[in-house]
Amino acid sequence: MPTEPLRLTNARLITGRPGAAPTADAVLITDAEGRVGYAGEAATAPASPGAREVDLGGRTLLPGFIDAHVHVKLSLPQGPFHELTTDPTYVAYETAERLRATLDAGVTTARDLAGATRGVRDALAHGLIAGPRLKIAVNALSHTGGHGDFHHFDGGHIHLHQGGAYLADTPDEARRATRDALRSGADVIKICTTGGMGSPHDTPDDEGLRVDEVRAVVDEVQRHGGRPVAAHAQGLAGIHAAILGGVTSVEHGYGIDDRALDLAAERGVFLVPTLSTVFVGIDKAAMQPYHYEKKVRWSGITRTNIAHAIERGTRIAMGTDAGVVPHGRNLLELGFLVELGMSPADAIVAGTRSAAELLGVADDLGTLEAGKLADFVVSAVDPLTDIVGLGDPANVLVVAQSGVIRKDLLGLAATTAPTTAEARPAS
């Protein structure tokens, strides 16, 4: 649907392009199709007849951010069995609230790596609820007894989503599970090649899917038009298995070593370190003992290994594991990346351009450039000097998707705002 063209002036522009310096006196022009017509210096900005002009007062203008690892139907304090004991309609409203909080934090696109179904994705695409555009995995593929295998106390197996069996213990079963995920509408296939910190019966060092099983998943995906494959991989053996098996991204990667970094560089594999899930909420009184002990141990390992990966220039995309950590605080992840040695400018690229490349949407998203969708954020702080401040949603003043203002703490929206139907985000 047509959107109101905008001319944003007096902006400090950060485009999201790697190595690009900010533009101090910039203009962003959006068109009626919700795309960027111009992004650059005010002195060379073209005329924009019919566009509504908005003075940003020198505030920082950035691309909409992309969180490559969320779980929008999960909130860790509720536990893995919450969906079994709660009315589905109530769960849907809980999910809608989390999606709204994620959007208000400055995230205009996200990737859900187990839990969200095609109904959530499509409701967002059709403007029925407000939130980031969503790519979904539906469920994770796991060995029996592995990180993705949840059982109720009576031994009955449950899934993060009840629609299919995603347990696989042989290469052929891995192929079948992959077909189940694709049939359920998965945009990305999520596999578990290690155990984890939050699961009570395994550890990050435990191995999950083996190399031959990972290769079977990747081959099956390629046979059906291609999809990214994301590997939950925390311990070293599972990280190696994931990369050697051909995955697109290593999620977490806390035990990563130089050999794995070399392999990832050779094969173009992304690392999504989800530092938030390691550094946020370590509270002995509020955690199960097994979870607390693993988090304390692995936070130190993570600090060392991810700092080394950053130093080596590893291809990193931002992901938070929101759901395991609180929703709506996604951009705190950028501060953790900087704490471990990344420059603020590179952290912003990790959350914009690099994440767009990982999700396969870089033709439309990730940078503010002519022809791209006009997803943008206006910040109250200069993130190049206060990256931690950007993680406070109160400092995210404006959020727009495809040129439509979704969050507006500056009063910039037109007095005659589009209706819900007219304001639907692009799918």
Rounded CA-CA distance 194/81 in Å is 22
Q: Domain for residue 77, yes or no?
A: yes
287 and 387 share one domain: no
Q: How many domains does the chain have?
A: 2
For residue 168, give the CATH number of its domain.
Answer: 3.20.20.140
Using DSSP, state whether 216 is helix, strand or coil: helix
Measured distance CA(362)–CA(233) in Å, rounded = 25
Domain of residue 402, CATH code:
2.30.40.10
pLDDT at 79: 64
Indicate whether 252 and 327 sit together in one domain: yes
Same domain, 344 and 270: yes
Q: What is the pLDDT of residue 227?
A: 96
Q: What is the rounded CA–CA span in Å between residue 306 and residue 314?
A: 9
1 within domain boundaries = no
Closest CA to 350 of 322, 384, 316: 316
Residue 134, pLDDT > 70, answer yes
Whether residue 220 sits in one domain with residue 114: yes
Q: Predicted confidence band at 121 (pLDDT cuts at 50, 70, 90)?
A: very high
pTM score, whole prediction? 0.93
For 265-296, write each residue's pLDDT tens digit: 999 999 999 999 999 878 788 778 888 888 88
The answer to whether residues 263 and 373 belong to one domain is no
427 located within any domain? no
On the CB side of 150, CA atoms within 13 Å amount to 19
Mention every residue, 6+ apart, whose C-beta is less than 8 A from residue 344. 334, 338, 383, 384, 385, 387
Compute the mean pLDDT over every residue in the chain, rounded to the nearest whole number: 91
What is the C-alpha to C-alpha distance for residues 107 and 139, in angstroms, rounded to an integer? 22
Give CA separation, 130 vs 124, 381, 396, 417, in Å.
6, 25, 16, 15
- Is residue 209 pLDDT above 50, yes or no? yes
Q: How far is CA 173 from the centre of its chain?
A: 28
Do 98 and 203 belong together in one domain?
yes
Residue range 354-374, pLDDT digits in tens: 999 999 999 999 999 999 999
Residues 58, 98 share a domain: no
pLDDT at 225 over 90: yes
Q: Is residue 202 part of a domain?
A: yes
Q: 255 with 401, same domain?
A: no
Q: Which residue, 244, 248, 212, is CA-closest to 229?
A: 248
Looking at the structure, tell me whether residues 387 and 350 fall in a common domain.
no
Residue 158, pLDDT score: 52
Do 340 and 214 share a domain, yes or no?
Answer: yes
Which is more confident, 240 or 88? 240
Give domain status of residue 426, yes or no. no
- What is the pLDDT at residue 418? 40
Q: Are 116 and 122 in contact (CB under 8 A)?
A: no
Q: Does 244 share its domain with 321?
A: yes
Residues of the domain holding 193: 65-359
> Are 161 and 85 spatial neighbours (Cβ–Cβ below 8 Å)?
no
pLDDT attached to residue 292: 83
143: confidence class by pLDDT, cuts 50, 70, 90: very high
- pLDDT value, residue 283: 79
pLDDT in tens, 174-189: 999 999 999 999 999 9
Contact criterion met (CB below 8 Å) for 271 and 235: no
> Which candidate, 351, 364, 354, 361, places its Cα nearest to that of 34?
364
pLDDT digits (tens, 9 = 90+) for 44-95: 999 999 999 999 999 999 999 999 999 999 987 776 667 767 898 999 999 9
Residue 312 lies in a domain: yes
- Parallel, antiparallel or unpaired: strands 52-55 and 36-41: unpaired
Based on the fold, state whether residues 107 and 152 are members of the same structural domain: yes
| pLDDT at res. 85 | 77
pLDDT at 410 over 70: yes
The candidate with the shortest Cα–Cα distance to 390, out of 158, 132, 60, is: 60
Reference 11, options 66, 57, 71; nearest CA is: 57
Q: Is residue 416 part of a domain?
A: no
The answer to whether residue 261 scores a pLDDT higher than 90 is: yes
List pLDDT tens digits, range 329-359.
Answer: 999 999 999 999 999 999 999 999 999 999 9
